[in-house]
Amino acid sequence: MRSPWGKSRGVVGGRVKPRGGARGVAGRSRGRTSGAGPAWSRGVAGPGRGAGPQGGVAGRGRGRGAGDAARRSAVAARGARSCLAQWRAAGPCSSLASMSFVAVAEDSDFPIHNLPYGVFSTPGNPRQRIGVAIGDQILDLSVIKHLFTGPILSKHQDVFNQPALNSFMGLGQAAWKEARAFLQNLLSASHARLRDDTELRRRAFTDQASAVMHLPAIIGDYTDFYSSRQHATNVGIMFRGKENALMPNWLHLPVGYHGRASSVVVSGTPIRRPMGQMSPDDSKPPVYGACKLLDMELEMAFFVGPGNKFGEPIPISRAHEHIFGMVLMNDWSARDIQKWEYVPLGPFLGKSFGTTISPWVVPMDALMPFVVPNPEQDPKPLPYLRHSQPYTFDINLSVTLKGEGMSQAATICKSNFKYMYWTMLQQLTHHTVNGCNLRPGDLLASGTISGPEPESFGSMLELSWRGTKAIELGNGQTRRFLLDGDEVVITGEGSQASRAPSRSFCYDRVALRAGREAICPARPRAGIPRPVSAPRDLPPGLGHQGL
């Protein structure tokens, strides 16, 4: 299967504008932007205590024998394969999903195996409506809503006539599976209902190139986690030293903070270089001006489906029922603003100026072929955070940067979602353990995704090691942080080639696409002196404290 987020690859991108605007691209969109739960495997070994996928992180193990670790890994791997086998048995087979009457290029991000959901409009019809991506087309679900005649959706056809996915998300997993099975059947080459109705096809399909993509959901609340052990370790070493790299709580709970939902934008939306207070010299008073240490952060995020009642936690055994699908994310960060404001309450203006997500939400069923064993967790989490079913995904991620005057983008990061220490199930369960109520359309982000090697670090803070090293872009160009006019693109692609018993299975590659953003110049407030513009190169040694 190709990219669930976009055209064979998931992309979240952006161009830096001096003080104000980065165009973000989430999910490789070609347009403009302004039943029962999974058949989980039983009896899979729970989180172990050996070295996990992030091997090489100091302090992970506790002297256990290599044989024990190997046995735990083998059991977890069998669990992942069992989960995939049961998913295959429960889902549409390759004979149904391998071909569509809609023309789909070989390298398309949107084959029939993907079918991500998004919200779009067109110049001729500005009404926002829900669609599914297939090939280079968008299937308008508001036009074909009357065709949903299954036991659940026949009673809820109006969810496809909404300007956002929230109502559909709230119907739950059985409805999502019913919709996916119906759409794969409807779009298959062997199904005549839509294939042979010329007039209905004319009204139902829109070229992606002519579509304007919007946020897929009304995001009521947004939480950003800090779940990459390597990222947390790197940042801790920078600011606290190797001996105190991880805070005492980090290995016991998924750390997170409440983000700003109103400034989450769809890929393609300009992001301006933010203004704020900074303290470049600790011996002098703070200054007001444009951020000089603007950073990107490679992340992924998931949308909440059905919520929970106020005061009623979601047990981890049912957490998967509340996860609708995933997007790519760029969590833009103003490191110098963040450094000055961070203590004692954490991120504020250094984060809230903009967060970019991809327009296409890849449903979890499209990602199940890429499930892998969960990371080994030592110490063992408290009982409410323990789960045996695999819920970590092998999704290759990359970040490219293209500066003004560059003929082609340079890859600055290659990482993988499987490096996350805390799983989405643990994040969601921990979020609600105190009775906090989640709602359909809430967004929960992974935090920066960093791997064990320097080239897999998911932020420029790490890639430049707090601004002390230049990031090579080729042709003599370097960066430590983002300059005005820089374009950042995040791409995601899942591949099961190394694990699949047969390459003939309908899923081969999944790609996520988030966007392309360009950083714009900052825009000072009227009456406030214009600050000195951001330098074309940044002094080494400057950094921040925190996430």
423 is in an annotated binding site: no
Q: Does any domain span residue 116? A: no
Q: Print burial letters for 291-311: b (CB count within 10 Å at least 16), e (below 16).
A: bbbbbbbbbbbbbbbbbbeee
Decide if 156 is catalytic.
no
257 is in an annotated binding site: no
- Lowest-confidence region among 70-84, 114-128, 285-299, 386-400: 70-84
419 is in an annotated binding site: no
Q: Does any domain span residue 525? A: no
Torsion over CA: 227, 233, 238, 243 (sign):
positive
pLDDT digits 0-9 by tens, 213-259: 999 999 999 999 999 999 999 999 998 999 999 999 999 999 999 99
DSSP letter string, 315-326:
PGGGGGGGEEEE
Overall domain count for the chain: 1
Q: Does any domain span residue 189? A: no
Helix H or strand E encompassing 471:
strand 471-474
- Number of other residues whose CB lies within 10 A of the CB of residue 246: 17
What's the rounded Cα separation, in Å, for the pair 377 and 49?
6
Evaluate if residue 510 carries a pLDDT over 80. no
What's the rounded Cα separation, in Å, for the pair 7 and 105?
10
- Sorted by sequence, the CB contacts under 8 Å of residue 337 that are 6+ apart come out as 274, 276, 277, 278, 291, 349, 350
Q: How far apart are the first and last CA of the chain?
A: 34
What's the rounded Cα separation, in Å, for the pair 436 and 545?
28
Mean pLDDT of the 8-15 span: 48
Evaluate if residue 192 carries a pLDDT over 80. yes
Name the residue among 367, 443, 361 with its Cα closest to residue 130. Answer: 361
- Sorted by sequence, the CB contacts under 8 Å of residue 292 that are 6+ apart come out as 278, 280, 336, 481, 534, 535, 538, 542
Query: Per the residue annotation, which of 113, 214, 231, 320 is the catalytic one?
Result: 231
- Sorted by sequence, the CB contacts under 8 Å of residue 529 that are 6+ apart come out as none
Q: Is 151 helix (H, G, I), strand (E, B) or coil?
A: coil
What's the rounded Cα separation, in Å, for the pair 146 and 42?
38
Q: What is the pTM of this model?
A: 0.81
Q: Does any domain span residue 137? A: no
331 is in an annotated binding site: yes
- Structure confidence at residue 163 as a pLDDT band (50, 70, 90): very high
Range of the domain at 221: 10-88+216-520
Q: Does any domain span residue 152? A: no
Evaluate if residue 328 carries a pLDDT over 60. yes
Q: Does any domain span residue 352? A: yes
Q: Does any domain span residue 102? A: no
- Which alpha helices (H) appear in 149-292, and where do they start and end? 166-170, 173-186, 192-195, 198-204, 229-240
Q: What is the CATH number of the domain that holds 83?
A: 3.90.850.10
Mean pLDDT of the 198-217 span: 97
pLDDT digits 0-9 by tens, 522-533: 665 444 434 333
224 is in an annotated binding site: yes
Q: Is 293 helix (H, G, I), strand (E, B) or coil?
A: coil
Beta bridge partners of 100: 188
Greater model confidence, 17 or 342: 342
What's the rounded Cα separation, in Å, for the pair 346 and 142?
42
Mean pLDDT of the 121-143 span: 98
Q: Does any domain span residue 486? A: yes
455 is in an annotated binding site: no
